[in-house]
């Protein structure tokens, strides 16, 4: 049997430019087209390549949810017409998400997910819509806003039982869509031409650690060790504001999923 494989990595991250404070790392998931075994999507272990059964695959904004079969295969039973966040969750693995569009959803997706390590701190695996539910149809990914807004900010208290002895700590944001900053507009991520918004701001224990200027997957933000506590910590994400609406405050509506903390030594060993 001739097995011909065309393999290419999703270049979502590569098409984004780096903002001053946010480093966008290469994405774990890769797209693989298998011309022999047929066209199907699959979830595998990124290290062993073994298929992962009973993983939860969902498109939260479309209310679509399925599980992988014994061969790790799944299908997306929803029409993808605009960038949409896909989530993959499996006990013992890091929560994974990927922004897919009609083009990437049209090809078989092979998603490699990684086992969690003792130092991974998962803050939240759910999807949130931050903003006020008032947005332009031409906003970056406005078509996907099906989840009701939680308000202009997200905040969560979480516990860190033991801090790693050394290494840099990074807050990882699995996926974010809907950011309508000038940079996002200039990069072609937003079709809003008449206005733009300030960037959403990320606060860790009350300190602003980053502004998110671009949409994308797997954005990593360094968290200074000096502001991380053993015990209770707090993460807050504030929506940006439309700079061209003066009659009232119009928050820039975004959707965000998968918030966790990794240590640099772990990233380097991958
Ligand atoms: Ca708004």
Instruction: Using the mean position of ligand 1's atoms as its centre, give its distance from the Cα of residue 62 in Å.
Output: 20
Question: Tell me, what's the pLDDT at 241?
Answer: 96
Ligand 1 centroid–CA 156 distance in Å is 22
Nearest 5 degrees, angle CA 48-CA 54-CA 57? Answer: 95
pLDDT digits (tens, 9 = 90+) for 74-118: 998 888 888 889 999 999 999 999 999 888 888 899 999 999 988
Tell me the CA–centroid distance for residue 134 and ligand 1, in Å: 4
Q: Which residue has the higher pLDDT, 253 or 265?
A: 253
What is the predicted pLDDT for the residue at 78?
A: 80
CA 152 to centroid of ligand 1, rounded, Å: 9
Q: What is the pLDDT of residue 119?
A: 82
More confident residue, 236 or 191: 236
Within a 10 A sphere around the Cβ of 245, how many other Cβ atoms? Answer: 13
Over the stretch 194-247, which tens digit does the pLDDT of each residue have? Answer: 889 999 999 999 999 999 999 999 999 999 999 999 999 999 999 999 999 989
- 194 CA distance to ligand 1 middle (Å): 14
Whether the predicted pLDDT of 141 surpasses 90:
no
Strands (E), the chain: 5-9, 23-24, 30-34, 41-45, 56-59, 64-67, 73-74, 84-89, 96-100, 110-113, 121-130, 153-160, 169-177, 201-204, 207-211, 216-223, 231-238, 254-263
- Residue 80 CA, ligand 1 centroid: distance in Å: 23
Collect residues with CB below 5 Å from ion ligand 1.
131-132, 134-135, 250-251, 253
Q: If you ran DSSP here, which 8-state letter would residue 248 be given?
A: S
* pLDDT tens track for 248-264: 999 999 999 999 999 87
Cα(236) to centroid of ligand 1, in Å? 18
Residue 45 and residue 231: Cα distance in Å, rounded?
A: 31
DSSP per-residue letters across 124-155: EEEEEEES-S---TTSTTGGG--SPB--SEEE
Q: How far is the CA of 133 from the centre of ligand 1 (A)?
A: 6
What is the rounded distance in angstroms from the CA atom of residue 10 to the CA atom of residue 28?
Answer: 9
Could you give the 3-state DSSP secondary structure of residue 104? helix
Q: What domains, with CATH codes, occur in the chain?
A: 5-113 (2.60.40.1120), 121-269 (2.60.120)
CA of 241 to the centre of ligand 1 (A): 8
Task: Look up the pTM and report it.
Answer: 0.81
For residue 244, the CA-to-ligand 1 centroid distance in Å is: 12
Quote the ligand 1 centre to 58 CA distance (angstroms).
25
CA–CA separation, 241 and 101 (whole Å): 26
């Amino acid at each position: 049997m001739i097995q011909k494989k065309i393999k290419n990595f999703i270049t979502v991250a590569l098409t984004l430019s780096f903002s001053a404070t946010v480093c966008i790392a290469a994405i774990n998931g890769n797209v693989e087209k298998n011309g022999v075994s047929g066209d199907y999507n699959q979830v595998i272990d990124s290290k062993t390549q073994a298929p992962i059964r009973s993983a939860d695959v969902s498109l939260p904004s479309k209310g679509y949810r399925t599980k992988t079969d014994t061969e790790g295969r799944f299908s997306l039973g929803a029409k993808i017409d605009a960038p949409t966040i896909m989530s993959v969750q499996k006990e013992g693995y890091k929560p994974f998400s990927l922004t897919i569009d009609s083009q990437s959803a049209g090809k078989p997706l092979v998603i490699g997910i990684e086992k969690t390590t003792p130092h991974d701190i998962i803050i939240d695996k759910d999807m949130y819509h931050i903003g006020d539910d008032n947005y332009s149809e031409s906003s970056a990914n406005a078509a996907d806003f099906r989840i009701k807004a939680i308000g202009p900010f997200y905040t969560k208290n979480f516990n860190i039982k033991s801090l790693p002895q050394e290494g840099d700590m990074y807050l990882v944001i699995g996926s974010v869509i809907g950011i309508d900053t000038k940079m996002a507009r200039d990069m072609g991520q937003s079709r809003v031409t008449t206005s733009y918004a300030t960037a959403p701001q990320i606060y860790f224990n009350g300190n602003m650690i980053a502004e998110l200027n671009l949409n994308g997957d797997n954005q990593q933000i360094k968290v200074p060790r000096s502001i991380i506590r053993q015990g209770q910590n707090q993460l807050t994400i504030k929506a940006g504001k439309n700079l061209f609406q003066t009659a009232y405050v119009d928050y820039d509506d975004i959707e965000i999923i998968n918030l966790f903390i990794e240590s640099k030594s772990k990233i380097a060993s991958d």
